[in-house]
């Protein structure tokens, strides 16, 4: 009879070990619960809730690790591309700014002559064309959202002034946004590509040129994101046509938006981590003498340079927008990697606590069973 009682007590303790409900202080106070002979035989095949949660935590930790690897890779890719994009912006600025100054000097000499130059003619504004430059991809924080909000705000201003407007959308994100809003008039949908070239800029310039020359629009404004630094970019509105009388790149309020000094960023490694070194670079621009004389007819020079001016300004805006997008993506992926690292630490802590609680509960039950048999 004593042997039977010992056998019953040992079976009871074995059953309580596999039962997740026994991982509490009740198992210590009542270490030998009586077995229920009417319980279902499928009880041993059921999965413990704690075992299930541990499995889910392990899967979630692995998922966070994989996500962190992806965001780290995207951060490094964006960091490698943003350097090349910034070099293209800085190298193209002297040409575009010098070209504007040449056009300004020629236009200034033509003020005393009775010559009609269509692209420099200022007429009463009845309709405005907005060239909105966005990115082709997401995962870059609020980059696309900021420039679209800037365009919406400008559209509301034009509506408040009683002016008509049309939009030329450049970029897949802007195209999808305006396609979902048919009440916004869009003249053309274009794509900038992953690496802006003169070919993509010429497609935009041709459409802008035809709209302005045919007098369908009286003013053309270029909305893009100006690259300032790796952590800062500014959506700006640049008056593309008619040509600025001061030979500067100006916004709608007449303020110059040219960058006299640029911050170059060099990606290096320090103590095994990716770091950024900054250096200041001033863009050189040529000064023209007021007594400069041209051998060719100024009208011929303007006819040759004005299409080049349009192409260079639009190409510059596309390059600035691309550099800003890559910088925003690098910053967003860096933040995502840091968040994934913090989440992985917190999940690992929860997993270790639950695992330790499970092991402690099993040890307590084994010790309680052994003491009951003694």
pLDDT in tens, 60-119: 888 988 998 999 888 888 888 888 888 888 787 778 777 777 777 776 666 666 666 777
Q: Is 1's pLDDT higher than 60?
A: no
Predicted pLDDT at 290: 58
d(CA 114, CA 217): 24
Distance from the first to the final alpha carbon of the chain: 16
At 122-179, the pLDDT tens digits run 788 899 999 999 998 888 888 999 999 999 999 999 999 899 999 999 999 999 999 9
Domains defined along the chain, listed by start: 78-286+296-336 (3.40.1380.10)
Mean pLDDT of the chain: 75
Predicted pLDDT at 75: 86
State the residue for tokens 């020079």.
301
| β-sheet bridge partners, residue 277 | 266
Query: 3 catalytic, yes or no?
Result: no
Residues ≥6 apart with Cβ < 8 Å to 196? 315, 318, 319, 322
Higher pLDDT, 211 or 106: 211
Greatest alpha-carbon pair distance for the chain in Å reads 126
Higher pLDDT, 36 or 212: 212
Instruction: Give alpha helix (H) positions in the chain.
Output: 2-18, 25-29, 49-109, 143-160, 172-179, 198-213, 298-373
Distances 218 to 85, 141, 274 between C-alpha atoms, Å = 33, 35, 49
Task: Please pick, among 3, 140, 250, 256, the residue that the annotation labels catalytic.
Answer: 140
At 223-248, the pLDDT tens digits run 999 887 777 788 888 888 887 544 44
Predicted pLDDT at 185: 93
State the residue for tokens 């040129």.
209
């Amino acid at each position: 009879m004593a042997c039977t009682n010992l056998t019953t007590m040992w079976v009871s303790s074995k059953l309580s070990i596999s039962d997740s409900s026994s991982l509490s202080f009740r198992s210590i106070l009542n270490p030998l619960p009586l077995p229920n002979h009417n319980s279902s035989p499928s009880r041993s095949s059921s999965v413990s809730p704690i075992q299930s949660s541990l499995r889910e935590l392990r899967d979630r930790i692995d998922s966070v690790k994989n996500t962190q690897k992806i965001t780290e890779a995207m951060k490094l890719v964006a960091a490698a591309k943003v350097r090349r994009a910034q070099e293209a912006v800085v190298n193209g600025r002297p040409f575009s700014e010098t070209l504007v100054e040449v056009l300004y000097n020629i236009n200034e000499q033509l003020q005393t002559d009775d010559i009609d130059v269509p692209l420099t003619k200022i007429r009463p504004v009845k309709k405005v064309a907005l060239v909105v430059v966005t990115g082709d991809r997401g995962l870059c924080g609020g980059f696309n959202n900021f420039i679209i909000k800037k365009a919406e705000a400008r559209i509301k201003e034009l509506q408040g002034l009683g002016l008509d407007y049309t939009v030329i959308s450049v970029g897949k994100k802007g195209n999808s946004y305006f396609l979902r809003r048919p009440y916004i008039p869009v003249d053309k949908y274009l794509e900038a590509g992953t690496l802006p070239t003169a070919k993509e800029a010429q497609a935009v310039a041709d459409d802008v040129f035809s709209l302005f020359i045919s007098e369908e629009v009286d003013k053309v404004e270029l909305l893009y994101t100006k690259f300032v630094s790796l952590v800062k970019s500014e959506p700006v509105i640049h008056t593309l046509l008619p040509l600025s009388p001061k030979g500067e790149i100006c916004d709608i309020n007449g303020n110059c938006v040219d960058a006299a000094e640029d911050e170059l960023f060099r990606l290096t490694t320090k103590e095994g981590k990716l770091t950024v070194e900054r250096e200041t670079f001033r863009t050189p621009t040529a000064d023209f003498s007021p007594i400069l004389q041209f051998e060719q007819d100024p009208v011929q020079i303007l006819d040759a340079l004005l299409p080049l001016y349009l192409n260079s300004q639009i190409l510059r805006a596309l390059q600035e927008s691309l550099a800003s997008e890559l910088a925003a993506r690098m910053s967003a992926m860096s933040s995502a990697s840091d968040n994934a690292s913090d989440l992985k630490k917190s999940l690992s802590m929860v997993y270790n606590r639950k695992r330790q609680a499970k092991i402690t509960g099993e040890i307590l039950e084994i010790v309680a069973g052994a003491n009951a048999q003694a």
